[in-house]
Amino acid sequence: MTVTPLDRRSPVPLWAQLLADLRRRVAAGEFADGFPTDEELRQSYRVSRQTVREAARRLQAEGVIVRQRGRGSTLAGSVLEQPLQALYSLAGRAEDLGLPEHSEVLAQRREQAGDAAEPLGIEVGAAVVYVERLRFVGDEPLSLHRSWLPAALAEGLLGCDLASGSLYDALAETCGVRVTGGWERIRPGVPTPELRRLLGVRRGGAVFEVERLATAGGVAAEWRESVIRGDRYSFRADWSAL
Amino acid sequence: MTVTPLDRRSPVPLWAQLLADLRRRVAAGEFADGFPTDEELRQSYRVSRQTVREAARRLQAEGVIVRQRGRGSTLAGSVLEQPLQALYSLAGRAEDLGLPEHSEVLAQRREQAGDAAEPLGIEVGAAVVYVERLRFVGDEPLSLHRSWLPAALAEGLLGCDLASGSLYDALAETCGVRVTGGWERIRPGVPTPELRRLLGVRRGGAVFEVERLATAGGVAAEWRESVIRGDRYSFRADWSAL
DNA sequence: ACGTATTTGTTCGTATGTATT
DNA sequence: CAATACATACGAACAAATACG
């Protein structure tokens, strides 16, 4: 019984106290044989399910646990990876902010799958649609995106005007494929001279490199490699009450 | 009346439908004169407050709105900045994962505040404690952290052993100062030759550059500039049901 | 300066849906 | 099919921060 009792008179919310105690127990290596269920936590800490979920939600957001319906919560593997709010749609984000957005389409053609075959789960040499776009927010370029989509799904994109808007909107309208999920990984990078020129990055400037897999109903729909200017884009976190 | 009615028989959760509609309305420039309160949204969409909060929580996580107790929700008309799960404590994260962690203390001394004066909100030349640590996870260096703390708060850190563990733990134990919040900004960068050598980054390797301000009860407690190896650390987002 | 109304945050209880075992 | 476990959704109440008269 290593449960630390929570203090209801404390100004610190119950969920924060619970979160702290769970972090402590995780660090102590306590849950090697399975993370407790919501119900078990509810009983052992004598709080409501709401409170348990609030703490669990944050543990999940931090990448400490993975929660799955019907299966329960499990400790996440130990990788030095930080969860992130999904970039998802840069176009949508710019639009939300009321910024003018457009793209220069550098390529839009059929190809045979090379490196993209593996993440897409198709065979090398299978037909894919390749789209390369230089995206502008305002007058200056912000990012370069290279996307590979299985031709079986995205054939219709070839005749599409992609000079503005989200690729996923076009994919939904033209091909009836609605992207429902995916993942992406973000790293820092040094742009090649050609990329520097395309994006207008000054000497010594760095970029974010983003890999993304988008899925539609569990099927891989797009593999994307993006480069985003570091001098025009950044990530920010505000944190409190931890 | 631009409220799109929600479909309760749809497999898409109500909060997701609400979120989509709110995003649409934001993009349409509808909330120029104030974002609706939870109660207003509850009534106009005929859902419970729980549902409203679930959608609002995500809008906040995306950086679209800012929510404040007593004040309401406001549009965060802003920059191209993406919200991020706080890095918060790298030491804690490594510890949670059961990875061995330690630091090489490169500097730990009293100084006069220079560039750190402004973010800390103190006068240039005021006494600060400067700490520079090279942090290892496993046998290899992961990051370099340079911290400035007001001497008025953190004097006690000067006599502290900082070879392992979190600076904030030391700050709490030695000085009785508990960090309660803050913010950080993350950009990509190219390391200087000296940093390359210190961190063991190969030629052409890039890094994350992190600026952080930590506060304790509303008072600035630490200004930090960090450099994290890009080949050992990355950010990851999983997204779904959007 | 003080008290009241507003608004979001926290917490409880309860019921039902959905994915996994 | 049944049991398990997380997700969604409703209702309700009080706390805490803010705004306003």
pLDDT digits (tens, 9 = 90+) for B33-89: 889 999 999 999 999 999 999 999 988 887 788 888 888 998 876 555 666 665 556
B56 touches strand C (CB under 7 A): yes
Contacts of B200 (CB under 8 A, 6+ apart): B140, B141, B229
Tally A–B CB contacts below 8 A: 197
**pTM of the complete model:** 0.76
The count of other CB atoms within 10 Å of the CB of residue B108 is: 17
CATH class of B14-75: mainly alpha
Radius of gyration of chain B (CA): 22
B149 touches B127 (CB < 8 A)? no
Helix B49-61 vs helix B38-45: crossing angle, to nearest 10: 120
Higher local confidence (pLDDT), B77 or A46? A46
pLDDT digits (tens, 9 = 90+) for B167-180: 988 998 899 887 77
A17 touches A10 (CB < 8 A)? yes
d(CA B90, CA B102): 11
Q: How far is the CA of A49 from the C1' of C12 (A)?
A: 9
Higher local confidence (pLDDT), B15 or B87? B15
Q: Which residue has the tokens 């950010």?
A: B235
Question: In this structure, what token pair is assigned to residue B183?
Answer: 């913010």
User: In chain B, which segments carry CATH 1.10.10.10?
Assistant: 14-75
A154 touches strand C (CB under 7 A): no
pLDDT band at residue B231 using 50, 70 and 90 as cut-offs: confident
Is the domain covering B80-236 a CATH 1.20.120.530 domain? no
Higher local confidence (pLDDT), A214 or B56? B56
Higher local confidence (pLDDT), B136 or B82? B136
Amino acid at B83: P
Contact B61 A187 (CB under 8 A): no
Q: For residue A94, what pLDDT is reported?
A: 64
B44 touches strand C (CB under 7 A): no
A38 touches strand C (CB under 7 A): no
Contact A96 B61 (CB under 8 A): no
pLDDT digits (tens, 9 = 90+) for A128-147: 999 999 998 888 898 999 99
The count of other CB atoms within 10 Å of the CB of residue B167 is: 23
Residues A105-132, buried b or exposed e (16+ Cβ, 10 A)? Answer: eeebeeeebeebbebbebeeeeebbbbb
Q: For residue A133, what pLDDT is reported?
A: 95
Q: For residue A234, what pLDDT is reported?
A: 77
Residues of B in contact with A240 (CB under 8 A): 180-182
B145 touches B132 (CB < 8 A)? yes
pLDDT digits (tens, 9 = 90+) for A72-97: 898 876 555 665 665 556 656 666 56
Contact B237 A187 (CB under 8 A): no
β-strand partners of A144: A134, A227
Transcribe B107-130 into DSSP letters. Answer: EEEEEE-STTHHHHTS-TT-EEEE
Residues B176-193, buried b or exposed e (16+ Cβ, 10 A)? Answer: ebebbbbbbebbbbbbee
Q: For residue B157, what pLDDT is reported?
A: 94
User: In chain A, which segments carry CATH 3.40.1410.10?
Assistant: 80-236
Residues of A in contact with B78 (CB under 8 A): 97
Contact A182 B230 (CB under 8 A): no
Long-range CB contacts (< 8 A, 24+ apart) of B190-196?
A: B190/A190, B190/A204, B190/A205, B190/A206, B191/B227, B195/B144, B195/B227
**Mean of per-residue pLDDT scores for chain B:** 85
Burial (0-12, 13-18, 19+ Cβ within 10 Å), A197: exposed
